[in-house]
Amino acid sequence: MKHIIVIEDDAGIREVFDIIFGDDYRVSGLENGDAIVAGMSYPPDLFIIDYRLPGYNGVDLCAHIKSNALFNHVPVLVISATADIARAAIAAGADEFINKPFNIDHIRDRVEFYTGRTVPVGEGLLWG
Assigned domain for 98 exists: yes
Name the domain count of the chain. 1
For residue 97, give the CATH number of its domain.
Answer: 3.40.50.2300
Spell out a b/e string for 62-80, using b for 16 or more CB atoms within 10 Å of the CB, else e: bbbbbeeeebeebbbbbbb
Could you tell me the residue range of the domain that residue 37 belongs to?
A: 3-116
pLDDT tens track for 40-86: 778 999 999 999 998 889 999 999 999 999 899 999 999 999 879 99
Assigned domain for 76 exists: yes
pLDDT at 117 over 60: no
Q: Concatenated DSSP letters for 71-84? A: TTTS-EEEEES-GG
Does the predicted model carry a pTM greater than 0.75? Answer: yes
Assigned domain for 48 exists: yes
Assigned domain for 121 exists: no
Mean pLDDT value across residues 86-114: 94
Assigned domain for 123 exists: no
The 3-state secondary structure of 99-118 reads ECCCCHHHHHHHHHHHHHCC
Assigned domain for 125 exists: no
pLDDT at 33 over 60: yes
Assigned domain for 39 exists: yes
Residue 125 binned pLDDT confidence (cut-offs 50, 70, 90) = very low
Instruction: Provide the percentage of residues in the chain whose pLDDT is more than 90.
Output: 75
pLDDT at 26 over 90: yes
Assigned domain for 126 exists: no
